Amino acid sequence: MKKYILLIALSTSFIACKKSEATQSQLKEAVQSVDSSVVAASEGINKMANTADAVFDSANVKIKEFDQAQSNLKETIEATSKSVDSLSQQITSTRLESKKKRKILRKKKLKKW
């Protein structure tokens, strides 16, 4: 009887060991599968981050180009405005001078009469 009890105890412990070995191998496979999934997800995230960085860099370059174009346009408009103001002053002064000359000529003509 002791032999049977001992035999049953040994067989149950042997079965338990085999079950734990099977469980360990399943756990290893699960860990490997999770690990490969994590690596794939990490690579995907890195690709998305790189793409987002490239898009933001491109947007920043475009914004800088627009800012530069805006400042160039402002400078051009200011230069044009100054030119127009200068021309306006020249036209005004020319008109005044021509009026003065006309008056002087009229006075000379009147004196001759």
For residue range 55-88, what is the model confidence (pLDDT) as tens digits? 998 988 889 999 999 999 999 999 999 989 888 8
87-89-94-97 Cα dihedral, nearest 10 degrees: -170
Residue 32: per-residue pLDDT: 81
Residue 102: per-residue pLDDT: 67
Residue 34: per-residue pLDDT: 75
- 41: its two tokens: 């997800």
| d(C-alpha 17, C-alpha 113), whole Å | 142
Tens-place pLDDT, residues 23-66: 667 767 777 887 788 888 889 889 999 999 999 989 888 899 99
**Is pLDDT of 21 > 80?**
no
- 13: its two tokens: 């412990």
